[in-house]
Amino acid sequence: MIGDNGGALQGSAKTAGLGTDHLLVVALTLLMGGSVVALVGQHTAAQAGPAIVLSLLLAALGTLPMLYCLRMAMRHVPNPSGLHGLLRAAWGKPLADVLVIALLLELTATTAGLAQSMTNHLYAAAGAVDVAPAQWMPLPLAASILLLLLGAATAALRTPCALLLASALLTVKLGVGLLLLLLAARHVHYAYWIPWLPTATAPYRFGLGGVLAAGAALLGVLLGAGLLAGFAGSLPRPRSQFSKAAGAAVLMAMLWLMVMAALQSGLVEFAALASTRPLSVALQGVPQLQWFLPLLPLAGSAGLAALQMVLLLLAARLGLEVWVPASGDAGTHARLLLTLALTVLAAALALLLPDGWLPQLPGPAGLLVLAAVCLGVARRQWQARAAANEWRLIPMLLAPVATALCLLLAVTSQLFLPLLVVLAVVSAGVLVRRHAGRPR
């Protein structure tokens, strides 16, 4: 996955620009590093049943308006400077600062939650071979230590090298999944896939309503791939590269997840998958595959480690866009310090807060940022069409649809009210900073 722009990257020490291949690594890590896979498992049993494949298809189609808006937004920025630049061009610097700082805080909290989840996976893998590490090291302490190690590696390596390491970790997860697919395909019972839309039976939510409910939750995570815009500023030609890389990543990830969801639903009856780890439950019903059980949490921990590295890179890039606009050696030094600071903050959260309190999925802040980008595209299109007196239905509808989807998913999130408090505090801080910086 790394290679098409490697030579150019070696010769660009100041900008450490990213190529299409690196964007593909980031996109795949965001989509498959842990969040979507976990939701697929949960909604297979609780909501959509075997029809989770249809939910994945609906979620993939729902990302198309958002990708269109990001492409249009970057076309209207002469020199794209990342996600902050897109927001600043559409709504001005104060609102851009508020949204990006809120997103930065959310990414830090999510990284801490992912560290706890990764440690849970590692402890589960150890428990599968009759080892109990929790007896000599508490889970929060292990999570903070592992996060500090990952953060130090992310800060010390140049961005392309850090993404190489994330790609290696993601390859472990995908390799285990491919091995499972090859070995488990012969044990699939095709009758378990019928009916695709089973009737609703308590406490499940099957039927068309379950498909739509699962699709909405999956769409909320898939829209997190819009964070790729945070990397767009360092690309020599971000418009075509971004759209191609993100589109290819979404297609590849969704096809892979559909195949894995179909495999999971075909091993045992979907009613037996009522668990937080339904794939493990499915393998327990096949004696020939039970030796595979320790590998599943190891693969999950590798994907979560890659996801933490990518989120730290995104958070550091967002922080640089807000506070350190300079590039070159100063920018490199600032990225190192900012990555370390965010790592220490996330490690402190993972150590101090109980397991389950921190988010492990893209939250409402990212959705609000994407809604702001999409709404800016819609406003610009309406102004341009009105001036030219030219109206085309589909382009005029895509941006409002993308905005509505992002806002709806953000408002229905459980973390929406805490986000409003964070936005109020950040807005007050930005206003105070602007007032203090004005000449008297």
- CATH number for 333: 1.20.1740.10
Residue 9 covered by a domain? no
pLDDT tens profile 170-229: 999 989 988 988 888 888 887 777 666 777 666 677 778 888 888 888 888 888 777 777
- Written as six digits, the tokens of 78 are 């002469």
pLDDT the model gives residue 27: 81
pTM for the whole structure: 0.88
Has residue 364 been placed in a domain? yes
Domain of residue 370: give its range.
16-425
Name the more confident of 5 and 150: 150
Is residue 292 domain-resident? Answer: yes
Please state, in angstroms and rounded to a whole number, the distance separating the CA atoms of residues 190 and 262.
Answer: 10
- Looking at the 3D structure of the chain, how many domains does it have? 1
Distance from chain centroid for Cα 154 = 17
Residue 168 pLDDT exceeds 60: yes
Write out the two tokens for 231.
């990397």
Residue 152 inside a domain? The answer is: yes
Query: pLDDT by residue (tens digit) across 50-66?
Result: 788 888 888 888 888 88
For residue 439, give every residue at least 6 positions away whose Cβ sits within 8 Å of its Cβ, in sequence order, or none.
none
- Any domain includes 187: yes
Contact 103, 370 (CB under 8 A): no
Task: Find out whether 273 and 265 touch, Cβ atoms under 8 Å.
Answer: yes
Residue type for position 235: L
Looking at the domain assignment, is residue 435 inside a domain?
A: no
359: left (phi over 0), alpha (psi -120 to 50) or beta: beta
Q: Is residue 277 part of a domain?
A: yes
Token readout for 398 is 């895509």
Report the candidate in 238, 223, 225, 313 with the shortest Cα–Cα distance to residue 81: 238
* Domain annotation covers residue 211: yes
Measure Cα distances from 391 to 76, 387, 396, 397 in Å: 19, 10, 8, 11
